[in-house]
Structure 1
Amino acid sequence: MAARTTLRPLRRLALATAVAAACAPAAHAALTENLTTNVTAMALGNAVTADPPGIGSIHFNPAGLARLEGDSESIHNWVASIRTSASFHQPAGFDVGGWTEDPLNGKSTGPVRQMTYVPGYGKPGWRLPAVVVPGVGMAWNKKGSPWTFATDSYMAAAMSLDRTTQNDDPGQYQGRQFQLQRLVYLSPSVGYKYSDTLRFGLAVPIAHEALVIDTNMRFPNELLGVFGKLQQGWCPENGGNIIDTFGFGVCGGGKDGMVSPFKKAANAHMELTAPVDPTLNLGVLWEPKPWFALGAVYQGGSKTHYTGTYQFSADPMLRNFVQGLNSSLLGPIAGAVLGFPSAIPAIQKGNLSATIPFPYHVQVGIKLRPVQMVQLNVDASYANWNEWNVLTFQFDQSIKLLEVARLYGIPDSSKLTMPRDYKSLVNFAYGLQLFPTNRLTLRFGYEPRKSSIPSNKIDLLAPLPNTKLLSAGLNFKINPKTDISVTGSYMTGKFNNPANSSCNMNCNTFLNIIYNPYAGLDVQGDIHVRYMGVELNRRF
């Protein structure tokens, strides 16, 4: 009998090892989800579906709320630092419509900082070395009741970049500033204990969404390059001649109206929010044995409707060119045929809207505790990022700057369409807990995140290649009713895109106007994200 008792933990340890080995080769998909959501979950590589973390169960598996007894609160705070860089090089034979020297050749992006969006206020002018994300959660359970009620506030997803330190930073053409955040500020939730082994849960996270894009724009492509060379050959240095005046006016814009594929053409600034965006989380937790548990959660998505403002600031190049065209004899006729505007204002601003999906997410997990001092968690998740196929922004008027793009097959200048072509994949995550004493728990996590952004669609707005996330943390019980958790995490990845390998960034084709600002260049880059979280839990 004693021999059998001794063998049971060894069998469980062998089972845990086998499960981990079977799952290890299949590392798949993630973007920004689950990065600053819960301190305990991050320490375990977000592999907590079968062992939900207290009030944090609201997000990861609301069935875990039914394990709480009495009233409790969670006070948590995150600090996150994102650093990304990119370098640009001309390959042999570089040519954009006859232009063979890109001024960005050999340059690299400069310092990157973070920004934030404050609901109800907007975007402050702060440039931050890191982002601070505080939150408070509360749970209520009447003694002996199978019902537990709770709410929490947390950052469900975020990406933040600020490259405004240097005016000549080459990253300015694909995001001087970029902020995407989904902040859950209220999440009414309930957990129900059906039996000692089976629990269910439901949560309704209500989020504030914010999207800020501020970018300078240039349009290096073959057609624009050929036209610029035509101007160089036809137009005298003083900007015009009598023949051109009675012709199409290609020289009428003067020196500033000379077209170059490498000149800054405009700046675009868009700021959108969705103040109230609810979703639905459903979870189930089955714990037939103290050493074994299974969990599953469905985190619902939404067709988030954003509204906000925009401002397009056009540089002299296109403004003067269009002005010169319409000052000639035949230019207005040619412009009308091509759909060009009669003039481009220096600044055009107004209101816009966009429907941007927040993808649904499914996660299942297993918990194994083969011996008293060791616990292994393994999770598999799927996020429906292929909904981000094309993002469309609808403006309240025709954008004169975009009317020039009709030549490139863009018929509706009241819309800006950004192809994304993201993919839905599967991601695996692994968490390990050690219990050296009754008061101390050590936690370790590993999450290989294969990006939902294919390598042929990556860009500097979302420089998220395949990454590896490593985490370590601990929990210390201060007294029977109070404990504190601390976690540190590091995520890193690299990308290498030769010329024409990503048509969201560096394709050099005849009609690549929206949007490949680094056309024909080799682009290499990386991303490094550092997180630290602290959580204080108290029970009453």
Structure 2
Amino acid sequence: MRKIRLSPLVSAIVLTGCSSAAFAQLGTNLSVDVRSLALGNAVTADPPGISAVHFNPAALTKIEGLQTDMQGIIANFDIQREFTVPAGYNVFGYSDDPMVCNDGPEVTADICTDFKDKVSGDVEYASLYVPVLKKMVDFGAGQPIAAPTMGIAYNPPGSKATFASAVYAPLIAGFGAENGNPGNFMGQQVALERITYLSPTVGYQVSDELSIGGGVGMSYQAIGLKSDLRFPNELIGMLRMIDEVVCTPFKENSDIITDILLLGMCNTEEGMNPFGKFGQMELALEQSLSPSYNLGVLWEPREDFSFGMVYQSAAKMRMKGRYRIHNAKAPQEMIKGLMSSPTGQILAAILGFPNAVPNSESGLVSMDFEYPQHVQAGIKYKVMPDLQINFDVGWTDYRAWDKFRFEFDRQISALKIAKLLSENVTDNSLALPLKFTSPWNWGIGIEYSATDRLKLRAGYEPRSTSIPDGKRNTMVPINGAQLFGMGIGYRFDADTDLDLSIGFLRSKDNIPANASSLANLTGVNNLIFNPYAGLNVKTDTKITILGLNYRTRW
């Protein structure tokens, strides 16, 4: 059956789209600058050194002479995923799901007699996609992801222009788990990264009170995924019933008559099971050059007050990559059974099914991906000579992720069938409706000058979710988040500063059974996107970030 053959491919690509969406919102501005992290990213009116390239290019005019920044940021991902069974749980009358059922092989009933209280599918280690190797690399258990960055800026003597460029990571995140982890059905390994490797930028001082700036960012974008696949669906449950009930009398006594009447579906060594593993998918998409631009303005009418605004453009990409599918035995046997019957062959020919399903297959895939535009504005106000408050509001155009459209390097028969049922499918493409929203967010930061050398900082940034309730999933669990930051700044001398910051982001989610069409929705028409159909899902994500910045003027 061609549709069953395609299911691993479609499912994995869809999950990849969801992962990029969730990661992008969860990880925005977490790995760019140490001082900004401590101030809840409320720095548009008070950008930090060369990182103004990202936060507000106009503030580069605050730099004199030659300056270099070197930063090291490490992040630890603690993602807990919990699955529980609600009352009345079953898929087409079956509830013996080994993921949530304690019954052993000695229990032959289709209904589970002893459900587990809860099942944990926690993330076990960090992962990162390495461009040169063209694959994902796992860190050891408990090992964090590191993101070193650096920048250089120069203000010629007597010039109103300041030139700068920085290497930084607007987004870098990834995680993985060992074989057999229950969370692997929505990503055993996931990696998403955007690395800006060149960002020529200029800030210009128009007057004593007003500065403007702009720059171009040249970035590398990558998405990587490895995922186990299963489809606890009513349709698959019906196929199991046919195999175990209808076909049982004919397993050892089939003849031409039964083959014709039953389409050869009983001539299989392994039947379909809604709780069985259907295969595994590996996928990687990348774009080596993804340009974007930043524009900023900084207005400082008084010493104790300033206003800043920045516009970060969208980055539109044509990402390309490869996929590899490892098919399980059950779908292969299903097609083999159809091909053993004259009527099964006729049905397969009418529907355009393949003659066989291989053990593995690979090919090319591409997609148009847009890193969304962002606008942020804020103020800096000194309520006391030693106490400063920053406040920012921002908006990111996640509405651009209304749908993701994936294009394959060949026509696929299953899509020819599916296009009759959905306007989002053509012969060689599949569109995933996400219906993201574009919420506003805010952040606040406080900086206290304890001495002429020592500054103490704290910040808070609540992050509203852009993912609708009906699209939440466990790939990167998020339903709103809170970012807390703290840090210190110490000036060794007139030309040397050191910043140390720590940030903590927390996001908890509860997805009741049948609440999300990308996680746990049951029904005949939800074959592909619901590996935890009918189960309650809870997630708890904690990200801890530690950063150190060494800034020197020459």
Question: Do they superpose with TM above 0.5?
Answer: yes
Could you tell me how far apart the structure 2 residues matched to 1:239 and 1:81 are?
56
Residues 77-116 of structure 1: pairs in structure 2 closer than 5 A: 77-105=72-100, 106-116=118-128
Letter in 1 for 2:55: F
Q: Structure 1 residue 187 and structure 2 residue 199: aligned?
A: yes
Aligned equivalents of 1:58, 1:513: Cα separation in 2: 46
Identity of aligned residues (%): 35
SS in 1 for 2:120: coil
Is the Cα contact below 8 Å between 2:425 and 2:431 reproduced in 1? no
Matching of residue 367 in structure 1 with residue 387 in structure 2: no
1:454 Cα offset (Å): 2.4
What do residues 175-202 of structure 1 show as CA deviations (whole Å, max 9, x unaligned)?
A: 0111111001110000000011100010
From 489, 503, 522, the equivalent of 1:475 is 489
Q: Which segments of structure 1 move beyond 6 Å, counting only runs of 4 or more?
A: 400-408
Q: Say if 2:387 is the partner of 1:392.
A: no
| Inter-partner Cα distance in structure 2 for 1:524 and 1:31 | 17
SS state at 1:204 partner: strand
Q: How far did residue 107 of structure 1 move?
A: 1.7
Aligned to 1:526: 540
How far the C-alpha of 1:334 sits from its partner, in A, is 1.8
**Where in structure 2 are the equivalents of 1:454-533 lying within 5 Å?**
454-533=468-547
Unaligned segments of structure 1, at least 5 residues: 1-28
Question: Is contact 1:248-1:334 (8 Å) kept?
Answer: no
2:65 aligned partner: 70
Match of 2:246 in 1: 234
Give the partner amino acid of 1:324.
Answer: G
Q: Does 1:435 align with 2:449?
A: yes
The 1:30/1:124 distance shift into structure 2, 3 A limit, reads closer
In 2, the alpha carbon distance for the partners of 1:231 and 1:408 equals 27
Q: Does 1:212 align with 2:207?
A: no
Distance 1:393 1:253 in 2: 35
Aligned twin of 2:394? 381
- What corresponds to 2:339 in structure 1? 326
Give the conservation status (yes or no) of the 8 Å contact 2:161–2:203.
yes
Residues 360-396 of structure 1 show CA distances to partners (whole Å, capped at 9, x for unaligned) of 0000001110211100000000001111122222221
Provide the rounded CA distance (Å) in 2 between the counterparts of 1:142 and 1:190.
12
For 2:417 and 2:532, the matched residues in 1 are separated by: 20
Q: How does 1:35-74 map to 2 (within 5 A)?
A: 35-74=30-69
Q: Aligned partners of 1:250 and 1:515: how far apart in 2?
A: 28
Q: Distance in 1 between matches of 2:467 and 2:124?
A: 21
Q: Which amino acid aligns with 1:282?
A: L
SS at structure 1 position matched to 2:129: coil
Instruction: Give the deviation of 1:302 after TM superposition.
Output: 1.8
Contact 2:268–2:336 (CA under 8 A) maintained in structure 1:
no
Q: Deviations over 1:494-540 (max 9, x none)?
A: 11111111111000021112311111111111100000011100001
User: How far 1:127 sits from its partner (Å)?
Assistant: 2.4
Q: How many Å apart are 1:108 and its aligned residue?
A: 1.3
Amino acid at match of 1:33: T
Amino acid in the other structure paired with 2:153: A
> Helix, strand or coil: the match of 1:279?
strand
**Match of 2:310, as an amino acid?**
V
- Work out whether residues 167 and 199 of structure 2, in 8 Å CA contact, stay in contact via their aligned partners in 1: yes
Structure 2 unaligned residues grouped into runs of 5+: 1-23, 101-117
Give the drift of 1:224: 1.8
Change (3 A) 1:250 1:381: farther
Question: What is residue 170 of structure 2 aligned with on the other side?
Answer: 156
**Matches of 1:396 and 1:73, distance apart in 2:** 46
Measured against aligned partners, the alpha-carbon deviations of 1:264-313 in whole angstroms (never above 9, x if no partner) come to 11211111110000101000000100111110000001221111111111
Give the secondary-structure state (helix, strand or coil) at the position aligned to 1:254: coil
Deviation at 1:75, TM superposition (A): 0.4
TM-score normalised according to structure 2 size: 0.88
**Cα distance in 2 between the residues matched to 1:117 and 1:66:** 36
Contact kept in structure 1, 2:352 and 2:413, CA below 8 Å = no
Among candidates 302, 313, 318, match of residue 300 of structure 1: 313
Residue 404 (structure 1) shift = 8.4
Deviation of 1:124 (Å): 4.9
Instruction: Tell me the amino acid that sits aligned with residue 431 of structure 1.
Output: G
Separation of aligned partners in 2, 1:111 and 1:290: 48
- Give, as a single letter, the amino acid of the residue that structure 1 aligns with 2:395: Y
> What's the counterpart of residue 364 of structure 2?
351
RMSD: 2.0
Q: Which residue of structure 1 lines up, in the alignment, with residue 135 of structure 2?
A: 123
Q: Which amino acid aligns with 1:65?
A: L
Structure 2 counterpart of 1:177: 189
Is the CA contact 1:216–1:268 (under 8 Å) kept in the aligned structure 2?
A: yes
Contact 2:128/2:173, CA 8 A, preserved across alignment: no
Residue type at the aligned position of 1:93: G
